[in-house]
Structure 1
């Protein structure tokens, strides 16, 4: 279908026009508004406190800006901008939405069906598979050719990140050990992907072969910058995510160690 073909964020922007390139898609704006209204209506019934609501608001703002701000248009020109967009969605918006109690608003029947994916190791492996898949040359290029593929990429990355952060931020004894393992898996796999992108000897992403020069980068330098963004902030975010479950484990083990 022709209306699904082409890049969702439009043509590559020139530097002078970037700040005018907001992606104000009516369908996306309506979907975001409905999601925000549903949260506002359900939060009091779910017993969510002020801190949780502020976390949700911050995460929702990050999610919205990642999708509609000029970052969307810039990601048509630069691989590094697309990586930055993904980092905002998966490492900033996702944990804030989890802290905001977004998962508690989903239907209980749906949560039961998704429960296996919420187990820490499973969540880490699913997220790793998706982040690697969507940053391989062929699937990545497909997101510029078909808008449905573009949204499948973003929805799958965000959903898997929400499941992963729901597991990482668990502090109960049963989930803490698994959360630490999931955090280590996520740190290692993100480091490996970032290293592959950074240390590559040739550019791998065809959509950006002719779009980076106007931004003062060649395609390989753009790819390496994207790898560094994934390698540095990506690994750091998951290491920080290890702290709550690790502290929970230490609190549980300290009395037992003292008794021994």
Structure 2
């Protein structure tokens, strides 16, 4: 167990759920901040903090990235998003599934024996997160207001998309490039 990673992960999780963030940001943006904190910030810290436990998880990086893609895009379909956004069991299922697939992606991609495959998984994740964030920012209307029964808030959706771009894209991209460098360093050392 490595507290240097687990303590910030715990602080992030406590912060996104217990701080009164709804007072300073739109509902959709807060919902997206929680998603991105789970998959792109807390999950890798948890995997690094519990490295020995997650070494036993033998998920292929690209398979984990594909499952994560399906889960993330699935929950962003309007009907599924409404189930997760309106609270209760749906919210727990949505956020729990994000954390679980985030853990599997990072556990698979941070495997020491496959840095190039891990880089591929993270770069694939970076691309689809970037695309989804861009779609949310560029949509001409609030995609979820009608099905969620909320007042349309295009700017809140755009802020949420920008959060996805600002958090997910660089985290996955930088980690993928770092793993690529690791793989290249191993090949030149051999």
Per the shorter chain, which TM-score range?
Answer: 0.7 to 0.9
SS of 1:242 mapped into structure 2: helix
SS of 2:141 mapped into structure 1: coil
2:49 corresponding residue in structure 1: 100
Q: Which runs of 4+ in 1 moved over 4 A?
A: 73-77
In the aligned structure 2, how far is the partner of 1:145 from the partner of 1:70? 18
Which residues of structure 2 form unaligned runs of 5+?
none
Correspondence list, 1:43-192, <5 A: 48=1, 52-71=2-21, 73=22, 78-101=27-50, 104=53, 111=57, 115=58, 118-145=59-86, 147-172=88-113, 175-192=114-131
| 8 Å contact from structure 2 (residues 142, 154) kept in 1 | yes
Alignment coverage as a number of residue pairs? 188
Who wins on radius of gyration, i.e. which is larger?
Answer: 1
| 8 Å contact from structure 2 (residues 109, 119) kept in 1 | yes
Displacement, 1:148? 1.3
State the Cα RMSD in Å. Answer: 2.4
TM-score scaled by length of structure 1: 0.65
CA pair 80-55 structure 1, distance change in 2 beyond 3 A: same
| 8 Å contact from structure 1 (residues 75, 81) kept in 2 | no
Which residues of structure 1 form unaligned runs of 5+?
1-47, 211-217
| 8 Å contact from structure 2 (residues 26, 156) kept in 1 | no
TM-score scaled by length of structure 2: 0.88
Q: Which has the higher contact order (CA 8 A, sep 6+)?
A: 2
In the aligned structure 2, how far is the partner of 1:232 from the partner of 1:208? 28
CA pair 102-62 structure 1, distance change in 2 beyond 3 A: farther
| 8 Å contact from structure 1 (residues 75, 82) kept in 2 | no
Q: Equivalent of 2:162, from 200, 215, 228?
A: 228
